[in-house]
């Protein structure tokens, strides 16, 4: 089985301090979420960490900062709709003290209020899911259950956070820019893996041929 080192991946995080209006209307206790996703040169998403639960504000704040430090996220999105923007401010203030002003990677994420949540999740996730570009660990039973049961599953906190990370936290790639970036990262990966130069040339030629087929 192919293994990819984390240093070759773009790592992003996203967190929701509490469930939104829909959950409150259904009288469900709000759950907090944290998801960490890593994108490779083929725009595949590997989810390294997924959590949903309920903690005190101070414990949840500490958990977010610990997870961000553990995975060195390029960006870490915090849902900022309504009063949640205040929690994001607390996170950024503590991050400045803990990591210094040069490590301010926490960004506010505002969910569109005029778009149906199920529609947003479906349209945001289906392209990557249908192309086989979302990977969950076997142990992520709850996340797998939400995917399998969407949109009628009892909870959708995790799948909602995954969609937001993919669609709003990670910067967009154009097809041409993505192809160029992917090719360069793949070549670097092969070099650092110790593959001989002549085999790298053969592999990159095969890669470009496959890419050309996929883009036309």
> Per-residue pLDDT for 215 more than 60?
no
Residue 157 banded pLDDT, cuts 50, 70, 90? very high
Running DSSP on this structure, what letter comes out for residue 112?
P
Fold of 6-169: Nucleotidyltransferase; domain 5 (3.30.420)
C-beta of residue 129 within 8 angstroms of C-beta of residue 45: no
C-beta of residue 43 within 8 angstroms of C-beta of residue 173: yes
pLDDT reported for residue 24: 45
> Per-residue pLDDT for 191 more than 50?
yes
Helix pair angle (141-149, 157-164), 10° resolution: 90
Separation CA 194–CA 200 (nearest Å)? 10
87: its two tokens: 């929690």
- Classify residue 193 by burial, with Cβ atoms within 10 Å: 0-12, 13-18, 19+: exposed
Beta strands at 75-79 and 10-16: parallel, antiparallel or unpaired = parallel
pLDDT in tens, 128-154: 998 899 999 999 999 999 999 999 988
β-partners of residue 14 are: 35, 77
Higher confidence at residue 201 or residue 143? 143
Look at the block and give the residue holding tokens 């997870």: 67
Backbone CA torsion sign across 52, 160, 69, 95: negative
Helix pair angle (84-99, 57-71), 10° resolution: 50
Domain boundaries, the chain: 6-169, 175-215
């Amino acid at each position: 089985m192919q293994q990819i080192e984390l240093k070759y991946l773009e790592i992003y995080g996203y967190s929701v301090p509490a469930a939104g209006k829909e959950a409150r209307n259904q009288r469900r206790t709000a759950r907090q979420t944290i998801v960490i996703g890593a994108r490779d040169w083929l725009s595949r998403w590997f989810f390294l960490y997924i959590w949903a639960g309920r903690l005190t504000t101070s414990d949840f704040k500490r958990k977010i900062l610990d997870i961000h430090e553990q995975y060195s996220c390029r960006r870490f999105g915090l849902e900022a709709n309504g009063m949640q923007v205040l929690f994001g401010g607390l996170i950024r203030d503590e991050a400045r003290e803990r990591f210094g002003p040069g490590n301010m990677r926490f960004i506010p994420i505002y969910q569109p209020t005029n778009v149906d949540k199920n529609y947003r999740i479906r349209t945001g996730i289906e392209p990557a899911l249908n192309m086989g570009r979302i990977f969950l660990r076997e142990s992520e039973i709850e996340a797998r259950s939400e995917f399998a049961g969407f949109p009628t599953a009892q909870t959708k906190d995790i799948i909602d956070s995954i969609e937001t990370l993919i669609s709003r936290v990670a910067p967009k790639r154009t097809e041409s820019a993505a192809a160029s970036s992917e090719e360069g990262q793949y070549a670097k990966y092969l070099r650092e893996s110790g593959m001989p130069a002549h085999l790298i040339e053969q592999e990159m030629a095969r890669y470009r041929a496959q890419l050309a087929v996929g883009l036309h």
